[in-house]
Each structure stands twice: as structure tokens, then as C-alpha cells.
Homo-oligomer: A and B are copies of this chain.
Amino acid sequence: MNRVYYPYEEFREDLKILANKIDKPFDAILCIARGGMTMAHLLGEYFDMREVYSVNTIGYEDTQKNESVEVFNIPELKSAKSVLILDDIVDSGDTLIEVLNVLSEKYPEVTFMTASLFYKKSAKIAPDWCVKEATKWIDFFWTVDLKQ
């Protein structure tokens, strides 16, 4: 598959676009680690919001070759009414779906919204806001820059 490098400068501009698209209020940010962490950091600063949390996931194939996702380290959302969930890319959508399931079950009174930089048309779920369709493998700067 073709690969494309995604540099910091492009990320910064895309994140500005994403921030401007988000037209509903939220009072906490929750990123899916590791992919959403840098986004969450910059958006937390941009929205002057200290309630920036992370959640961990592990994806694995079960014996029937279905993708299963385990979600752990779910944060205490305190008094949050509306939470913005962030990930870098919505690929199959399995991770985002399971994160939404687990969080909605634990916090039925909280509204969850989702945003990503990239999405694939084939994903089983579309984020509420996103910036670009992913048509190639993306080498995000946070994945490759320290190795160069």
C-alpha cells in the first residue's frame, strides 16, 4: 500500500480545521491512547480545558478471527455532561465503537461525541467531525519523527 508522511505542519493546520468544525459544547476531552494523545493535548490547550483524559485499548482477533477490543483505564469523568472523544484515525471503526459502548454503559447520563483527523469510508462508524479521508497508509509524525 502506498504510504504518505503526515508532518507536524499539516497536522497543525488540520487540527485548526477540526477545532472549527466542532459546533457543539463539551466539557471534557478523552483521547484514545496512543493515537489521539497529541491531538488531545493541543485541543485541550486551545479550548482552555484542563479536563483532558485518556483511555487505553487493546485490539486482538478472537478464535473466529473477529476483531475484539478491550477498553481499560476508563477515567473518572467527574461532573462532565458532554465529552469529546478523539482518535487520530477511524479505520475499521471497531475501537471507536467499543470505546463508545463501554463509556456509554459506565456513564449513561453523559453525551459522547467523536472527532478524528482521518476516517476511512469503509469504517463501521463515522466520527461526528473529521478532516480527511485516508486512502493510503499514514506515517504520522509522532510515529516516525524520533526514528529519523
Contacts and interface: CB of A to CB of B under 8 A. Distances in A.
24 contacts: A8-B8, A12-B145, A16-B146, A31-B37, A33-B41, A33-B52, A33-B53, A33-B54, A34-B44, A34-B45, A37-B52, A38-B38, A41-B41, A41-B142, A42-B145, A42-B146, A43-B146, A45-B142, A45-B143, A46-B146, A50-B58, A51-B56, A52-B56, A56-B75
Interface residues of A, number: 34
Interface of A, secondary structure class, is helix
Nearest to A45: B143
A79 to B, nearest CB: 13
A34 B46 contact: no
A50 B52 CA distance: 19
Contacts of A66: none
A145 B73 CA distance: 29
Contacts of A41: 33-34, 37-38, 41, 142
